[in-house]
Amino acid sequence: MNDRKILVTRSSMPPLEEYVEEIAPIWESHWLTNMGAEHRQLESDLKRYLGVENVALFVNGHSALECVLEAMGLRGKVITTPYSFASTTHAIVRKGLTPVFADIKPDDYTLDPERIESLVDEETCAILPVHVYGNLCDVEAIQDIADRHGLKVIYDAAHAFGVRRDGVSAAAYGDASMFSFHATKVFNTIEGGAVCFRDPRLKDRLDQWKNFGITGEETVEFVGGNAKMNEFCAAMGICNLRHLDEEIAKRRLVAERYRSRLEGRAGIKLCLPQPGVAQNYAYFPVVFEDSFGATRDEVFDSLGRRGVFARKYFFPLISDYDCYKDRFDSSETPVAREIASRVLTLPMFADLDMSDVDMICSTILAQGRS
């Protein structure tokens, strides 16, 4: 057993001296939270980087998603995907809404527009698609369905920070997009998240909902929560944003090395780059088909013996979670169920050594049919 561990991801961090310089003024102001100078600066920096006019920061992406669902006053059913992280559906359910699962596309694993329309009924209020692994949804087709039925579109864009299509940021699509800035993401604030949104009137409501519903020094108009990003996390975001393009460039080299070793091998299915999309290389998913000669789980175990901790991401489907037992039937989304049973995301981070990439690929290929 190899004592050295290669995790599926590793957090990007700025030089220590840069972060210390950024947080030094906090010792002067003693302003640690409640939307201080660092918080305001990060919001401004994100607007500029993402090319959007409206941004609200949160303590994490999940709280951001819950908050925007509530701030929009949604009631009824939300069409979404079972092929995502728990947060997507949990946010819907925790806000008293009903998730309705549509199947995914077999090429990029995003919500399939052709499976959405038949699920729309008089109780449907929104569509909540997910940009998966940095692959963008078919935003035009989804928006067309939403427009014809008067539905809101809220994107879970946790995987899509920095992704652009024909120069347009993923943050610009739909009525709102939620981003996660968790430590494992391409861009992190240690913990954090944000909502980018089209209607500027949402800004006050979002800021109030994340601060207990307080609307003035002596007025509390809503039963809000506490979801504010603190100043130290905002400072980390300010620093990391300065280095983001360089980090993505390093990730691209890792992805290209994986692709050069694995692409075209029998039984190995990789996502094809989307036309016109500037990727962020957030994840490197591999789907193992029967013709490979080894199952996903056998590959996972083989990598583990070499100290490589890949991830079955996303497995199980949300619709198969214990907490939703007897409520959903994953056989109704057969593409999602098939991909979830075969997918493995390989280690992907900016400083992953190419020799480790080669070792990971060699370990995988050794499991297949010769």
How many CB atoms are closer than 10 A to CB 221? Answer: 11
Total structural domains within the chain: 2
- The predicted model scores a pTM of 0.97
In angstroms, the Cα distances linking 244 to 36, 226, 343 are: 23, 29, 27
Rg of the chain over CA atoms, in angstroms? Answer: 21
Instruction: Tell me the CATH number at 75.
Output: 3.40.640.10
Work out whether strand 77-80 and strand 98-101 pair parallel, antiparallel, or are unpaired.
parallel
Domain C-terminal end among 242, 262, 292: 242
- What distance in Å separates the CA atoms of residue 187 and residue 248, rounded to the nearest whole number? 9
Residue 184 sits at the vertex; the CA angle it makes with 78 and 199, to the nearest 5 degrees, is 40
- Determine the pLDDT at residue 370: 60
Domain that holds residue 110: 16-242
Residue 133 and residue 136: Cα distance in Å, rounded? Answer: 9
| 4 falls within a domain | no
Q: Is 252 helix (H, G, I), strand (E, B) or coil?
A: helix
Q: Which two tokens stand for residue 353?
A: 């050594």
pLDDT per residue rounded down to tens, the chain (370 residues)? 457 899 999 999 999 999 999 999 999 999 999 999 999 999 999 999 999 999 999 999 999 999 999 999 999 999 999 999 999 999 999 999 999 999 999 999 999 999 999 999 999 999 999 999 999 999 999 999 999 999 999 999 999 999 999 999 999 999 999 999 999 999 999 999 999 999 999 999 999 999 999 999 999 999 999 999 999 999 999 999 999 999 999 999 999 999 999 999 999 999 999 999 999 999 999 999 999 999 999 999 999 999 999 999 999 999 999 999 999 999 999 999 999 999 999 999 999 999 999 999 999 999 997 6
Same domain, yes or no: 190 and 146: yes
Which of residues 200, 218, 242 is at a domain's end?
242
pLDDT of amino acid 1:
46
> Any idea what the CATH number is for the domain that residue 314 is in?
3.90.1150.10
